[in-house]
């Protein structure tokens, strides 16, 4: 069951207590649970736009695409590369920018088959994404919140996952326990290259992100994952396109060319990087 435990008030950082279908801080700030069980901890003053994050349409498309399990090899790669000493019974996992919840849900299912019980929390700035996630899996605590200001105390988690998302390293470091790990998953140079070749007149040179390292973290392990999958209808092709930024960036001619397809075989080219939180040395004099 989702517990929504050990969270902080986004206004004053005071601990939140569960009282039936609300979370309340000692100063009386109250956050009601939505019908589907998630809680919105994104105060209006922290919103940069009225409807931040992925739109309802993007979330619907991502949900339909991920439910076809073409990206199941990514779930397997995450689990097989997870640092072994971190993956113990009771491990506390945060998915920061969880989208519609596919990965965190699948990770929990596989871990539970292996006899590992994980406490899982997923958050996203998009209320559409969190609504979909909260319908997908009732065993996970789901929040609307921003990576820029995580509504939870320090050292709350043993692992933070940021999959195709927007990392905020100071916040990730704060909420990780000593020896906690961070996973970044990003697309590599050839990701969906067949589609991008149709969409753009030329392909930009690939630039690796965080090549110079990540502040506050030490790289433990880096891995590339490559596989192919086939989409066999125009609907499935449009669903994939609509969950990516290409839907807005591609040229008119490119999008028209993709509308002519009935099937396409695509390369998935993914980078996984595991980091460990750097522990600051204390100098005793």
Ligand X SMILES: C[S@@+](CC[C@H](N)C(=O)[O-])C[C@H]1O[C@@H](n2cnc3c(N)ncnc32)[C@H](O)[C@@H]1O
> Residues 6 or more apart from 147 whose CB is under 8 A from it?
96, 97, 123, 125, 162, 165, 166, 167, 168, 171, 172
Per rule CB under 6 A, is residue 163 in the interface with ligand X? yes
Q: Is 179 annotated as a binding residue?
A: no
27 binds Zn ion (CB under 5 A): yes
Find the shortest distance in angstroms from Cβ 107 to ligand X.
Answer: 12
On whether the CB atoms of residues 14 and 25 are closer than 8 A, the answer is yes
By the rule CB under 5 A, 29 interacts with Zn ion? yes
The option from Zn ion, ligand X, none interacting with 12 (CB < 5 to 8 A, set by class) reads Zn ion
Q: Which strands make up the sheet holding 119-124, listed edge to edge? A: 39-40, 141-144, 119-124, 92-96, 157-163, 176-187, 264-277, 217-231
Contact 101, 137 (CB under 8 A): yes
Report the partner that residue 247 touches, choosing among ligand X, Zn ion, none (CB closer than 5 to 8 A by kind): none
Cα 61 to Cα 250, 256, 281, distances in angstroms = 17, 19, 46
To ligand X, the closest distance from the beta carbon of 98 in angstroms equals 6
- 25 labelled binding-site residue: yes
Nearer Cβ to Zn ion (43/83): 43
Phi, psi of 180, deg, nearest 5: -70, 155
Q: Is the Cβ–Cβ distance between 83 and 221 less than 8 Å?
A: yes
The distance of closest approach from Cβ of residue 244 to ligand X in the complex, given in angstroms and rounded to an integer, is 8
9 is in an annotated binding site: no
Q: Where are the beta strands (DSSP E) in 29-139?
A: 30-32, 39-40, 92-96, 119-124
Interaction between residue 39 and ligand X (CB under 6 A): no
Query: Does 90 appear as a known binding residue?
Result: no
Residue 151 lies near ligand X (rule: CB under 6 A): no
The binder of ligand X chosen from 26, 138, 154, 166 (CB under 6 A): 166
Q: Is 61 in the site for ligand X (CB under 6 A)?
A: no
Distance CA 250, CA 194 (A): 14
Return the residue of 2, 4, 8, 9 that touches Zn ion, per CB under 5 A: 9
Minimum CB separation of residue 41 from ligand X in Å reads 11
The three-state secondary structure class of 10 is: coil
Query: Binding site for Zn(2+): what residues are annotated?
Result: 25, 29
Binding site for ligand X (CB under 6 A): 53-54, 62, 97-99, 102-103, 124-126, 129, 146-148, 163-166
């Amino acid at each position: 069951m989702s517990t929504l435990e050990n969270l902080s008030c986004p206004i004053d950082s005071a601990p939140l207590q569960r009282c039936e279908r609300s979370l309340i801080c000692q100063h009386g700030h109250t956050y009601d649970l939505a019908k589907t069980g998630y809680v919105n901890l994104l105060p209006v003053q922290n919103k940069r736009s009225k409807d931040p994050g992925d739109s309802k349409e993007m979330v619907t498309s991502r949900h339909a695409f991920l439910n076809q399990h073409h990206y199941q090899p990514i779930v397997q790669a995450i689990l097989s590369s997870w640092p072994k000493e971190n993956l113990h019974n009771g491990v506390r996992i945060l998915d920061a920018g969880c989208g519609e919840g596919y990965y965190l849900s699948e990770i929990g299912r596989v871990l539970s088959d292996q006899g590992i019980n994980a406490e899982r929390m997923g958050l996203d700035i998009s209320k559409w994404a969190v609504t979909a996630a909260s319908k997908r899996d009732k065993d996970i605590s789901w929040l609307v919140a921003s990576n820029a200001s995580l509504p939870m105390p320090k050292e709350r988690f043993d692992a933070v996952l940021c999959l195709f998302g927007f990392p905020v390293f100071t916040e990730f470091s704060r909420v990780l326990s000593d020896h906690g790990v961070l996973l970044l998953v990003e697309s590599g140079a050839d990701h969906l290259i067949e589609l991008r070749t149709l969409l753009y007149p030329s392909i930009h040179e690939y630039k690796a992100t965080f090549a110079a390292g990540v502040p506050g973290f030490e790289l433990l392990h880096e891995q590339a994952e490559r596989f192919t999958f086939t989409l066999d209808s125009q609907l499935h092709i449009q669903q994939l396109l609509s969950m990516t930024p290409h839907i807005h960036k591609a040229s008119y001619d490119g999008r028209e060319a993709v509308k002519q397809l009935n099937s396409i075989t695509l390369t998935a080219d993914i980078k996984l990087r595991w980091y460990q939180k750097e522990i600051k040395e204390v100098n005793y004099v």
